[in-house]
Amino acid sequence: MRISTFDDLKQLFIEGGIEIKATENGKIVMRTLIQPDGDVTMHIAEEIPDDAVHQDHLKKTREKITSISIFISLLNSAGFFSVVPAAFFSITS
C-alpha cells in the first residue's frame, strides 16, 4: 500500500472525490466514489462481476481509504487540517 499524495487530496477536496473503477471485459462493472465529507458510494453493474474482480475492487477501495486517512492524519498532526471527516477513520477500523 502506498500513502496518499497531494494528487489524491486534490482529487478529493478540489475535484470532489476519488473514483475507483473495476472493469470486466472492457466494461465498468464497479465504481466507488470517495467524497470529501467521508461518504463512500459504490455502484455495481446489473450483471454482478466475477468474485475476483469484486474482491480486488474492495481491496483497492479499502487501501485508498486507509492511505487517505494516514496522509490526512499526518497533515493534521502538522497543523495543516483542523477538521477531517470522521467516516474516513470509521471505515478503516
Contacts of 51 (CB under 8 A, 6+ apart): none
Share of the chain above pLDDT 90, in %: 35
23-40 pLDDT per residue, tens: 999 999 999 999 888 888
- Residue 44's pLDDT is 92
What pLDDT, on a 0 to 100 scale, did the predictor assign at position 85?
53
Question: Could you give all domains of the chain from N- to C-terminal order, each with its CATH number?
Answer: 6-92 (3.40.630)
Does 83 have pLDDT greater than 80?
A: no
Residue 86 has pLDDT above 70, yes or no: no
Which of 52 and 84 is assigned the larger pLDDT? Answer: 52
Model pTM score: 0.71
Long-range CB contact pairs, 38-46, < 8 A, 24+: 38/85, 38/86, 38/87, 38/88, 38/91, 39/87, 40/65, 40/87, 40/91
Higher pLDDT pick, 6 / 40: 40
